[in-house]
Structure 1
Amino acid sequence: MREPILFPLDLPELSVELGGGTIRRTVHPSGLRILTEHMPAARSATVGFWVGVGSRDEQSERSDAPGSLGSTHFLEHLLFKGTPSQDAYEIATSFDRIGAEHNALTAKEYTCYYAKVRDADFEHAVGSLADMVTNSLLDAEEFEMERGVILEELAMAADDLGDVASERFFEEVLKDHPLGRPIGGNPDTIRAANRDDVDRHYRDRYDPSTLVVTAAGAVDHDRLVEMVLAALNASHEERWHTDRAGVPERRERGNLEPVDTREAGEGFVTVERPSEQINLLLGAPGFVAGDPRRFAFGMMNSVLGGGMSSRLFQEIREKRGLAYTTYSFGASYSDAGLFGIFAGSAPEKTAQVIELSKQELAKIAADGITDEEFERSLGQIAGSSALALEDTETRMGRLARAELGAGELYDLDTSLERFEAVTADEIKAVATYFANTPLTVVAVGDTGKMTR
């Protein structure tokens, strides 16, 4: 069985031929890491500037500074608002002028600023992103303007029943763990935020040792390394200069104990919202990233709720018409995870949907899956993975998540070998694990009409 590509933090250079392309990685003496995947036929490229700091890392901010919560998301917005060489409008027009897809994302364990461009405009994208990441002004007036924008973003999410259900589900399942907090903060923390807290977050957490630059598509690795080093050394902020020795930020997050799935307990949480439908989530803490059971979980999850032929879809929607949408899912992080089942149904049907969801999970735990389901699950995983990897943005993100995560990259063939090797007993064991774990239920909508 093929082994994954390993990314040791103390290995300065790495080059691997993979599927007709080449993956290269440079670890600079400053701690900066740059990874590329050259795709020979591509006429575009996606580049991302990643920092291994997410919403969960705000736990280490001062306890007497409530505005520090939400700083990561606040900072993501502010880096688009101007540097000494370009204001917010110039940043926007510079990307629009070349037809780029550009944006940023804040996650629970990392933040990314990225652009997808045609090959001829790649250097422009790298230069502009590097300027934003290293030279942001964090202007006080822009800070106040963006406070209003973020509050509107949170208000929009509060009007979306699915978003509300998801946020409450994480909070209820993961309890006091920092991963259970909302990524964007909440209205109270955003109103309490001040520029000094966010500026401190920027200066304390953003430097070459925390930066990972990844690119995929029509990209030349050596040229990208030159461009990134030149941009960082030209930064107005001395902390970005790469002439000082450093070490890459360690991947381990050993400051927190893993979530104990047996401590969560069964709960039923309702959130009242005017709606014709209840958005329902039920689940429990799941597996951490890198757990050896993750491949068996992927197979089990595909059969349970991974598509239109899945057991949940067939039993809840096709045979009984109780919901339009239903599926199961998993989320994995460095020291915690989450497993869940979603359905949207009329209030009077929720009790039946919950019971059917539990029954289908219990059936897999008791009887396993059929040979036909195994083959169908394997085909679904193989096909969806292959289609996703046609896109340079997906490949760029895959490099970053491998580097910021466990430091190992599973290419498509290596990953599929692991799925093919999963046994029927391993799938049953995963289903049994969750079937025997108390499930938390979160229901959002006109809950007064619900059946229990």
Structure 2
Amino acid sequence: MLFPHALPIDAEETAFTLDDGSAIRRTVLPCGVRVLTERVPGAHSATIGFWSPVGSRDEHEGQHGSTHFLEHLLFKGTRERTALDIAVAFDRIGGESNALTGKEHTCYYAKVRDADVDVAVEVLTDMVLDSVLDPEEFERERKVILEELAMNEDDPADVVHELFSALVYRGQSLGRPIGGTPDSIRAVDRVAVWQHYRANYRPEDIVVTASGAVDHDALLAGLERALAAHGVTATAHGPLHPRRDRTLLPLSPDPDVTVRRRDGEQVNLLIGGPGIPRWDERRFALSVLNALLGGGMSSRLFQEVRERRGLAYSVYSFAGSHADAGAFGVYAGTRPESAGEVAHVIREVLAGFAESGPTEAEVERAKGQLAGAITLGLEDTSRHMTRLGRAELDLGELWDLPANLGRIAAVTPAQVRDLAAELIGQATVTAAVGPVDADAVAG
């Protein structure tokens, strides 16, 4: 099957089997929690994720940094468990637990043996629905987050990516740092974070995904027990959290060179501009384009900047996408005296690619590279769990491995060339961090 499997948001039950034998089931519980499972043949572990469909872009004024703050705080205690109790619950079974915050969603997850799925479901349900945001823990975690932000600020690669994002998404909430800023974290109070939590962690907002050695009916039974323990019963739910509006953001970043000067041995450089949203049919051509330009050791940028000229150790291209916007760019880290030359070479490679496009041989090589990377990535149940969550929250459809590989195999050199011409024509933003002047890296 070379088309996606639909996941209608209001369908109470959906089920299908993938070509590899994995069974997919989706159930909307009466309380509104959406549950998606993928039973993977031969697996002895399972990864369970509890998703909230809100991220840093959804924060209101006075709440900036709250989503990431919650990622920390939900591990710090509920009415039934202390922070130590939560840690012990996972350590006792040899499980791995963590969370991730994005611009459009948050996920709390655990990877456990098949025998311990119920334990993970019980603890994650408690964390997500019944955190107390203890005032003492809140202030302690504020300091921890400030340390995390300070650590990120010491990494110039992180800083230049944040600077680039702010330039591309200028004036949009997508341009804000996921973790907030030191000023916003110092300013936000517990009431603001609590309001953000209670408004966005209701049963009708929550999506639970599980992949690996998992039985759908057994997981539903365990989840319903855990929900009932928190007073969430089988009452009819309100409207489910809608999938995001796909109306494109009006991005038109000014041609700009922005430099944050600081001492160091390298200049971290980013050149790029707007990209495409995640649902755009050209995303398969974008994957090929990205692989060819800067996705591996045979890519044009790697060969020209590193192999032929020895100007950088790290050079790569990247593409990020959201419901209504995207970004595309090229990163390189180089010595200050080489920054101008590297910026010039990157722009030359981009312009040449936009003008002539890739060869047939290059496209076939990129397709093979992507097919291998996608297939190997799905060897981990965590990747399957994440694929389910993003299919439910972002796309409303599940692209399985044959469908993905088939769409990539169908990409033509002309499609890559046309997309390159569009994106590179918009690549007007330059961000740099290090001991360099704007004039040195300007186009």
Q: TM-score range by the shorter chain?
A: over 0.9
Give the match for residue 314 of structure 1.
Answer: 303
Distance 1:444 1:246 in 2: 48
1:451 is paired with a residue whose SS is helix
1:350–1:450 contact (8 Å) kept in structure 2: no
Cα distance, 1:241 vs. partner? 3.9
Task: Answer whether contact 1:347 1:451 (CA < 8 A) is retained.
Answer: no
Identity of aligned residues (%): 51
Per-residue CA distance 1:226-285 (angstroms, 9 max, x = gap): 1112211211xx5x444232232110236xx63334x21211111122210011111101
Q: Within 5 Å, which residues of 2 pair with 1:198-347?
A: 198-235=193-230, 238=231, 240-253=232-245, 258-261=248-251, 263-347=252-336
- Matched-pair contact (CA < 8 Å) for 2:117–2:219: no
Q: Equivalent residue for 1:42?
A: 43
Tell me if structure 1 keeps the 8 A contact 2:2–2:407: no
Report what 2:156 is aligned to: 161
1:378 paired residue among 339, 346, 367: 367
What is the match of residue 17 of structure 1?
A: 17
Mapping for residues 88-237 of structure 1, pairs under 5 Å = 88-235=83-230
Match of 1:84 in 2: 79
Q: Distance in 1 between matches of 2:113 and 2:439?
A: 52
State the shift of 1:420 in Å: 1.4
Whether the aligned pair in 2 keeps the contact of 1:334 and 1:405 (CA below 8 Å) is yes
How far is the alpha carbon of 1:417 from its aligned partner?
Answer: 1.1
User: Which residue identity lines up with residue 37 of structure 2 in the other structure?
Assistant: T
Q: Which digits, 9 at most, give the CA deviation of each residue in 1:41-74, with x for residues without a partner?
A: 011110000010100000xx3x4xx2x1111111
Alpha-carbon deviation of 1:449?
10
CA distance in 2, matches of 1:389, 1:226: 27
Q: How far apart are the structure 1 equivalents of 2:434 and 2:23?
A: 50
Distance 1:259 1:284 in 2: 14
- 5+ long unaligned stretches in structure 1: none
Gaps of 5+ in 2: none
Mapping 1:48-67, distance limit 5 Å: 48-58=49-59, 61=60, 63=61, 66=62
Count of residue pairs the alignment pairs up = 440
CA shift, 1:148, in A, is 0.5
Q: Separation in 2 of the partners of 1:302 and 1:251?
A: 29
Cα distance, 1:31 vs structure 2: 2.2
Within a 5 Å distance, the mapping from 1:372-411 to structure 2 comes to 372-411=361-400
Question: 2-side partners of 1:242 and 1:75: how far apart?
Answer: 27
Is 1:435 equivalent to 2:424 in the alignment? yes
- The 1-side partners of 2:67 and 2:438 are apart by 39
After superposition, what is the alpha-carbon deviation per residue over 1:285-338, rounded to whole angstroms, capped at 9, x for unaligned? 110110111111111111001100000000000000000010101000011110
Is the 8 Å Cα contact of residues 274 and 427 (structure 2) preserved in structure 1?
Answer: no
- The C-alpha deviation readout for 1:59-112, integer Å capped at 9, x for no partner, is xx3x4xx2x111111111111111121100111111112221110111000011
Residue in 2 that maps onto 1:348 = 337
CA gap 1:247/1:227 in 2 versus in 1, 3 angstroms: farther
Query: What amino acid maps onto 1:111 in structure 2?
Result: T
SS at match of 1:90: helix
Shift of 1:358: 1.6
Alignment TM-score, normalising by the size of structure 1: 0.95
SS in 1 for 2:376: helix
SS of equivalent to 1:447? coil
8 Å contact from structure 1 (residues 289, 333) kept in 2:
yes
In the alignment, the residues of structure 2 paired with residue 122 and residue 164 of structure 1 have an alpha-carbon distance, to the nearest angstrom, of 39
Aligned 8 A contact 2:257 2:438 in 1? no
8 Å CA contact 2:271, 2:427 repeated in 1: no
1:189 to 1:156, Cα distance in 2 relative to 1, 3 A: same
Q: Find the counterpart in structure 1 of residue 65 from structure 2.
A: 70
**Whole-Å Cα distance in 2 between the matches of residues 402 and 356 of structure 1?**
38
Cα deviation per residue 1:133-179 (whole Å; 9 max; x = unaligned)?
11101111111111101101101101011111111111011101111
- Kindly indicate whether the alpha-carbon contact (under 8 Å) linking 1:113 and 1:129 is maintained by their aligned counterparts in 2: yes
**Aligned residue identity for 2:54:** V
Cα drift, residue 215 of structure 1: 0.5
